[in-house]
Amino acid sequence: MASHTSTSTTSLQSGKPMAPPSSAVIKRLQSELLALMSSPTPGLSAFPTTSLTLWTATLAGPSATPYESLTFKLTLSFPSNYPHAPPEVLFKTPIYHPNVDMKGRICLDILKAAGSGGEGGGWSAALNAETVLLSVQSLLGEPNNASPLNGEAAIVWDRDMEEFRRKVLARHQEPEELDA
């Protein structure tokens, strides 16, 4: 695992360099990675890419949702003060969803730091990469249409599920298509 301990990371959203992670952050991420590998959760996986603080994840669309049988690629970028601040999580797979914008940014309470945006975020240091991914997976089947990033998707979700599924399939690309 030492090969993944690069000292610099970049914010996924701003592209700006972030401070190098501390040994406590590295140790926490190593522990989380070991837990994910030793007790895999069906429908999700995550592995470091260029550093231990930048992960690529895959999620299976939950059954009985418009995303059933689809696979999604995401990136997780862990800040230098993780777990006291949430990771940045972005969909890399194009997705049509009320709480995900066209750039892959996700509106989910647990991805907001406490006190951010004028309101309390739901992030807690007790959460981890697996709980974040499970929450994102759950969001696929249970969007928060009261606070959409994609207003059209929220309206279509509420009015016409068949049309919503058509829009999901029109936008979706399988992860291997993204790598080509």
CA–CA separation, 86 vs 15, rounded Å? Answer: 17
- CA dihedral over 144, 118, 85, 91, signed as positive or negative: positive
107: annotated active-site residue: yes
3-state secondary structure (DSSP) of residue 11 = coil
Residue of 29, 59, 90, 107 marked active site = 107
CA–CA separation, 59 vs 71, rounded Å? Answer: 6
Q: Which residues pair with 17 in a beta bridge?
A: 10
Main-chain dihedrals φ then ψ at residue 33, nearest 5 degrees = -65, -45
Residue pointed to by tokens 């590295």:
26
Query: Which residues are known catalytic residues?
Result: 107
